[in-house]
Amino acid sequence: MGKPDADLIILGAGPAGLTAAQYGARANLHVLVVEELMPGGQALLIDALENYPGNIGSGDIPAKSGFELAQDMHRQAEAFGACFMTETVSSLRKEGDRFTVTLGNGETLNAPAVILATGTKRRPLGIPGEEQFRSKGVSYCATCDGPFFKEKKILVIGGGDAACVEAQYLARLSSQVIIIHRREKFRAQKALAERVFHNPHIEARFNTRLLEIKGEQKVSSVVLERTDTGERYEEATDAVFIFAGAIPQTSLVPDARTDEKGYIVTDQAMASSVPGLFVAGDVRATPFRQVVVAAGEGAVAAHSAAEYIEAY
């Protein structure tokens, strides 16, 4: 096999991939990042990234958005010499001591080390009406679609950090936001949950789950069920925003060891069970998924990949 196309190929350009690109390039590696959309990943959907260290606003100026921070990280990685490619990856396989990445256009790339930073995708509920009314009142992104429902009645489904954060954003657009959670209390961080409780534009309903989304051309109502009593009722609404967890994007590496939820297991060096394959960000098995965690993992993964390549 001839000269590799890169020393290090990074799949995914969210905060983990962007940080890995910067650290890899600073280590004098030829780094190539492949991203099917645009750099930033799910951070692009964050309205104000107020809990990222140093990203603090002043006065009436809020903290930078995830989009703005992602742009800065992208420019920084490029400034250090990382190269970026917008393309879908159809397969990843290891042949001997190198990895071969096959792109959607049929082109192949190879490198001795790969960092997988493909993140997660929103988990659908799989209920009647969900797919039918996608983009017709059903959404998985408040910052993307929230402005279409100003002063409309909005249901937010979920009880984790994402649901609470997105409900807060939607409450700036409408005074009729209802957050529905099937359990008796939120799973979100306490500070985020407290903000929901103290927001006069948000009503929190616990022990309630969504069974069906109804309408004709667009969403007009939902069927809800009390999980404690079994009572079912129909309620009018204009939009349903779903934040019911995430699905790790691991299809490219079916042989890598995963945990019971499908996230890839690594050691502290971010090394997976496949030699030369490092993993960082939300696709990795970790107890806490935040932008700052993903960035830290990206830095460690790049450092570990550099050591692996040096011994290659």
Q: Which residues are identified as catalytic? A: 141, 144-145
Give me the residue label for tokens 């780094």: 31
Look up residue 161 and give its two tokens.
């950090």
Both structure tokens of 51 = 């809990």
Strand 154-157 relative to strand 208-215: parallel, antiparallel, unpaired? unpaired
How far apart are alpha carbons 264 and 278 in whole angstroms? 10
Compute the half-sphere exposure of residue 205: CA atoms within 13 Å on the CB side of its CA: 15
CA dist 185 and 162 (Å) reads 15
Total number of residues shown for the chain: 312
Can you tell me the distance from the alpha carbon of 97 to that of 307, in angstroms, rounded to the nearest whole number?
15
Cβ–Cβ < 8 Å for 41, 246: no
Cα–chain center distance at 245: 10
